């Protein structure tokens, strides 16, 4: 029995016993271990779970309030930039730019907003440990929306519709303290963004067919995507970091992308993200966590800052990745083909000398790169 | 008594029994360890127990620093562990006594 004994062959043999028109074996075949790994990328969609740290998570009135705020440019200092300016619904909640442009140019690519309840850390550097804390960050960042607690609270208090929505979501009028109003706004924004869940994809159909042994349905998955998947879970070992139903381990890695942000400037990535998160009174150990038990604060409590975190950035989900170009933390790679080529020919000298040793050059052929891209395309809903 | 499926590691001086909570350990998910330490042959009970883990193949440790709390009677609880990648991880149990530090290691494979 070879190691690459095919589960699919077993399915085919089983079906052949009861149906004369059994489909030919899909190619490539997967080992038992690879099948387990493929099945671990589902099921999809995930079961919805509310965020215990946000008392309005999942509440319809808060979701509606958050959707309204998401498109409201008055939350910015100039009144010209809304959350939706960069996170555009028609672009998978990105902006198509290499680096986000708010009130000033930023150093990082706009991350798409989807499946956010599955995340542990937010932002490329994980400087926020909750979606509501992350929702506040760009509102008050001088380069993005440039606002402050006073302005955000004033906008909500001065607008009858926003006041009504606030009361409906939180069961009380806007609080006296500006910071408390701003945090509430952030929690409504989070409640809305939690509803942005990607749909089922050709890969999900393949994965479920594999799980139930449906040979005909398995065979409908394009051959190129199957070959790309074989590389993804095989010699590419991409699923070491891009694991689980959301295709990410939610953690941070150095992927050999330069972290020079401009002349004389570097982007320290995760190293600074941990420091900022720990210093923030808006983290999950602070006074604004609505969960008295701090049940969602495990990562915050135990995260450790290491020297190797310098230049590490969060592993993004791959769901709908075909719609979120350009790629990497600085938007430096324009296409998925460039991303696959980057990993295939990775320059190990650019990786941290004291960092992890995971990435190795694969030297994929042009056809293999096409196959991996076909697989990534199949993660689009 | 530790509840759940236990693991064991031992040397001439100590036997350590531990169970992961929740179990089995899943990559990318936090877990805790309930641990019982039994000195052998007159070995000193540890004054301190430290727990850590590394992934030798990838040359990195965890992204989280667990905290170990003694619960009395040779029992401990380690909170805050996470294996953030699938593959082989080596759990390190460092037993600190007045005579020095002794390490027991247990390899675990997570998928």
What domains sit in chain A, N to C, each tagged with a CATH number?
1-46+201-264+314-381 (1.10.760.10), 60-193 (1.10.760.10)
Distance set, CA A359 to CA A184, A217, A224, A366 (Å): 42, 34, 24, 19
Domain count, chain B: 1
Per the CB < 8 A criterion, the answer to whether A331 and A109 are in contact is yes
Q: How many helices (H) and strands (E) does chain A have?
A: 15, 4
> Above 90 in pLDDT, residue A1?
no
User: Which CATH number fits the domain that encloses residue B98?
Assistant: 2.60.40.1930
A268 burial (CB, 10 Å; 0-12 / 13-18 / 19+) is: middle
Q: Which of B55, B63, B66 sits opposite A251 (nearest CB)?
A: B63
Cis preceding-peptide flag for B24 (omega within 30 of 0): yes
- ipTM comes to 0.92
Q: Is A45 exposed, middle or buried (0-12, 13-18, 19+ CB in 10 A)?
A: middle
Which chain A residues touch B50 with a CB distance below 8 Å?
none
- Residue in A with minimal Cα distance to B55: A356
The string of pLDDT tens digits covering residues A268-313 is: 999 999 999 999 999 999 999 999 999 999 999 999 999 999 999 9
B-interface mutation test, from A37, A358, A359, A360, most B Cβ less than 10 A away: A358
Q: pLDDT tens, A26-63? A: 446 788 889 999 999 999 999 999 999 999 999 999 99
| Count of CB atoms situated within 10 Å of the CB of A44 | 21
A→B interface, C-beta within 8 Å: 33, 36-37, 40, 239-241, 243-244, 249-252, 298-299, 301-304, 306, 308, 355-358
Rounded to whole angstroms, how far apart are CA atoms A145 and A76?
Answer: 4
List of chain A residues whose C-beta atoms are within 8 Å of the C-beta of residue B82: 299
CB contact under 8 A, A298 and B84: no
The answer to whether residue B1 sits within a structural domain is no
Full DSSP string of B26-92: -TTSEEEEEEEEEE-TTPPPPSEEEEEEEETTTTEE-SB--EEEEEETTEEEEEEEE--SSEEEEEE
Strand duo B7-10 + A313-314: pairing: unpaired
Contact A5, A32 (CB under 8 A): yes
Residue B2 lies in a domain: no
Contact yes or no for A304 and B59 at CB 8 A? no
- Whether A298 and B80 lie within 8 Å, measured CB to CB: yes
Residues in chain A closer than 8 A to B88 (CB atoms): none
Q: What range does the domain containing B87 cover?
A: 7-110
pTM of the model: 0.91
User: What is the mean predicted confidence (pLDDT) over A136-151?
Assistant: 98
Strand, helix or coil for residue A26: coil
Q: For B86, which of A240, A250, A301 is closest by C-beta distance?
A: A240
Residue B104 lies in a domain: yes
Residue of A19 and A183 predicted with greater confidence: A183
Low-confidence ranges of chain B (pLDDT < 50): none
Q: Specify if B73 maps to a domain.
A: yes
Burial class (CB in 10 A: 0-12, 13-18, 19+), B80: buried
């Amino acid at each position: 029995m070879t190691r690459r004994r095919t589960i699919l062959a077993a399915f085919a043999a089983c079906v052949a016993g009861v149906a004369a028109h059994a489909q030919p074996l899909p190619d490539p075949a997967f080992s038992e271990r690879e099948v387990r790994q493929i099945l671990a990328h589902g099921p999809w969609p995930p079961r919805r779970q509310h965020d215990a740290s946000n008392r309005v998570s999942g509440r319809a009135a808060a979701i509606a309030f958050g959707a309204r705020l998401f498109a409201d440019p008055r939350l910015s200092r100039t009144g010209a930039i809304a959350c939706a300016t960069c996170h555009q619904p028609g672009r998978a909640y990105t902006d198509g730019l290499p680096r986000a442009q708010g009130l000033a140019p930023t150093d990082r690519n706009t991350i798409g907003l989807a499946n956010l309840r599955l995340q542990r850390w937010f932002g490329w550097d994980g400087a926020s440990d909750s979606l509501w804390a992350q929702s506040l960050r760009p509102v008050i960042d001088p380069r993005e929306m440039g606002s402050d607690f006073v302005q955000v609270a004033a906008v909500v208090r001065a607008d009858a519709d926003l006041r009504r929505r606030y009361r409906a979501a939180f069961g009380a009028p806007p609080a006296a303290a500006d910071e408390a109003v701003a945090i509430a706004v952030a929690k409504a924004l989070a409640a809305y963004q939690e509803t942005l869940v990607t749909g089922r994809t050709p890969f999900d159909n393949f994965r479920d067919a594999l799980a139930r042994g449906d040979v005909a349905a398995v065979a409908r998955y394009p051959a190129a995507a199957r070959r790309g998947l074989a590389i993804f879970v095989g010699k590419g070992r991409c699923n070491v970091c891009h694991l689980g139903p959301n295709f990410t381990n939610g953690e941070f890695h150095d992927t050999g992308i330069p972290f020079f942000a401009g002349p004389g400037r570097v982007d320290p990535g995760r190293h600074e993200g941990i420091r900022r998160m720990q210093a923030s009174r808006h983290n999950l150990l602070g006074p604004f966590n609505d969960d008295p038990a701090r049940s969602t604060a495990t990562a915050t409590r135990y995260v450790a800052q290491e020297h190797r975190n310098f230049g590490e950035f969060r592993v993004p989900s791959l769901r709908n990745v075909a719609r979120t170009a350009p790629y990497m933390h600085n938007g430096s790679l324009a296409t998925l083909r460039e991303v696959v080529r980057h990993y295939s020919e990775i320059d190990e000298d650019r990786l941290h000398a004291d960092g992890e040793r995971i990435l190795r050059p694969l030297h994929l052929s042009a056809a293999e790169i096409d196959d991996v891209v076909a697989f990534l395309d199949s993660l689009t809903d | 008594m530790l509840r759940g499926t236990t693991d064991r590691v031992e040397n001439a001086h100590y036997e350590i029994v531990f169970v992961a909570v929740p179990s089995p350990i899943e990559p990318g998910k936090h877990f805790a360890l309930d641990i019982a330490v039994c000195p052998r042959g007159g070995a000193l009970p540890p004054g301190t127990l430290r727990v850590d883990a590394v992934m030798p193949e990838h040359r990195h440790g965890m992204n989280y620093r667990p905290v170990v709390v003694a619960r009395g009677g040779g029992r401990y609880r380690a909170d805050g562990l996470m294996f953030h990648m699938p593959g082989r991880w080596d759990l390190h149990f460092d037993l600190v006594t007045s005579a020095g530090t002794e390490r027991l290691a247990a390899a675990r494979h997570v998928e």
